[in-house]
Amino acid sequence: MAARLSRDNPAARVVMTGCAAEVDPERMAKSKGIHYVIGNRSKPELVDIILKKLSEDQTSGAEPSELGQVLGGAQGYQQMLSRHPMDREWYMEEGFTTRP
């Protein structure tokens, strides 16, 4: 679907987020048609992250690369202790627990 969106809308930038972006951001970034990958932890800043990146690219004259870029809180396999969401620390409001 990302490849089709990118092909049908060449001026658009396709941003992937959600569980797949958290599980394997590097692989997602290599998928055809995806320009940016943003992890769930960065969703509150998603618009700001994308606007900043687009502004930087426009200022530098950079063209989108064939491979997507991992932005925000999505981290690579080597940087994370675990890929399983139950093993990660997630921000929670006071009084809630991050583990079952």
3-state DSSP call for residue 28?
Answer: helix
- pTM above the 0.95 mark? no
Q: Is residue 93 part of a domain?
A: no
Q: Is residue 19 part of a domain?
A: yes
pLDDT in tens, 52-95: 988 988 888 777 667 788 887 665 544 554 455 555 555 556 66
Q: Is residue 92 part of a domain?
A: no
Q: Is residue 27 part of a domain?
A: yes
Q: Is residue 64 part of a domain?
A: yes
pLDDT in tens, 25-39: 888 889 999 999 998
Domain that holds residue 27: 2-87
What are the Cα distances from residue 87, in Å, to 27, 49, 80, 81, 84?
21, 26, 10, 8, 6
Q: Is residue 100 part of a domain?
A: no
Q: Is residue 99 part of a domain?
A: no
Domain count, the chain: 1
